[in-house]
Structures are given as C-alpha cells and as structure tokens.
A and B are shown apart, each in its own frame.
Chain A
Amino acid sequence: QSVLTQPPSVSGAPGQRVTISCTGSSSNIGAGYDVHWYQQLPGTAPKLLIHGNTNRPSGVPDRFSGSKSGTSASLAITGLQAEDEADYYCQSYDRSLSGSVFGGGTKLTVL
C-alpha cells in the first residue's frame, strides 16, 4: 500500500490527452511539499519528468505538464505518442515518515 495513490493504469489513443492523478494526505502533499513525477520506460531506470509540481527539466517536451492542488497532484500528457508508453510515478516528502514517498505507479498504454 503506497502512501501516495495513483491509478494502476490509464490509456489513450495517439494524439489524445491523458491525465494521471496522485492523491496524498495532510502529512505530505497537503503539508505543502512539492510533487515530482518520473517516467520509467520498460527495463530502464526512472527519469525525472516534472519537478516542483510544474517544472520540466531541460529536454522534456512541453507535452508533459504537472499541477498540484490541496492534497493531490496531476500529470497531463497531451498529443500522446507511442514512445510515451511507460510507467509513471509521483513522489513527495512525508513529514510523519521523515522520508520520500512514491505513488504505486501508473502504467500508460498508448492504444
């Protein structure tokens, strides 16, 4: 059972928009800690996709965007491409656990 809750899977056709939610609590996201997102392609290490709720590292396409409100956050992917098929994880800090916490991961399937 992960501290942050994500849907196990989402899917969309090429060109469409999908969103992935990440729900936390008052001890992590709701406490004001930032949410960060990672993309993990099959058989590879995770890659930072969004940091500080909304910021894209250099090289990440602007098709990826993040938002945060209250105890939740979302990752939106527009103009879906086949290469976006991957697992996506949200991450924050939990003050009760005194450590970083991840969501359980969401598998994105491009139909």
Chain B
Amino acid sequence: EVQLLESGGGLVQPGGSLRLSCAASGFTSNTYAMSWVRQAPGKGLEWVSGISGSGGSTYYADSGKGRFTISRDIPKNTVHLQMNSLRAEDTAVYFCAKVSMATGPYFDYWGQGTLVTVSS
C-alpha cells in the first residue's frame, strides 16, 4: 500500500525558513517523480515543485523559484522541500504527491498534508 507522510510544517515568521519532508512507502521511490502541491486556507490547489525519480531534474512554479529547493534522499525514500524567504502568501497546507505519467503528469497518491503558517 502506497503511503506518503509529510512532516515539518509549523509557524514561521516572514523571511524565515522551513524544511518539509515526505516519507514514502509501498513503492520504489526512485522509480517515480514526486511533487509538492499546496492549498492556501479556503483556496484551491497549486502545484509548487517536482523532482524526477533519480533526483537529477527539478521543477518549480514561478511562486517558489529562487526560494524553494526540492530534493530527495533515495535510500531513505524521502523527499524534502526547503523553503526560504517565506512570505505570508506561502501560508498553506503542503501536500506531497506521487507522480505518474500519461500525456503529462498527474498525482495518483497524496499525503495528508502539513500546515505551514507564515506570520509574525
């Protein structure tokens, strides 16, 4: 059974940093790309970042470019999202998702999410 478990969320001041983690189980993690998707309170879903199975390719939405860094620890089946220079508008629940491919990527499994609150 595929399971994704996020951790690392919390309250951080504007300009601060936070590192999110996603522990994967039930599949060979280096075979699949992974992504982070966020949802601001009362709002819709927004893709944030993605990483290839090997970790050699990374992708970012404009909202996080230059501030967020995605990485993966293949032996530990874990994906991380390092978030720097955080802003109030980064406040959201951050979901980790396993990526599958059709003509374009989609997200076939999701974690339960971790809440990031950016506030002074």
Contacts and interface: CB of A to CB of B under 8 A. Distances in A.
B112 A100 contact: no
A33 B44 CA distance: 21
Given A45-B110, A97-B62, A99-B59, A32 B44 contact: no
A92 B106 CA distance: 8
Nearest to A28: B104
B95 A46 contact: yes
Interface string A87-106: 00101110001111111110
Contacts of B61: 97, 99
Contacts, number: 73
A52 interface: yes
Task: Categorize the interface residue count of chain B.
Answer: 20 to 34
Interface in A67-111: 89, 91-93, 97-105
Contacts of A93: 104-105
A44 B113 CA distance: 9
Given A38-B45, A48-B110, A91-B45, 11 more contacts: A40-B45, A45-B95, A45-B112, A46-B37, A46-B110, A92-B104, A99-B59, A100-B47, A100-B50, A102-B44, A102-B47
Interface of A: 2, 32-34, 36, 38, 40, 44-48, 51-53, 57, 89, 91-93, 97-105
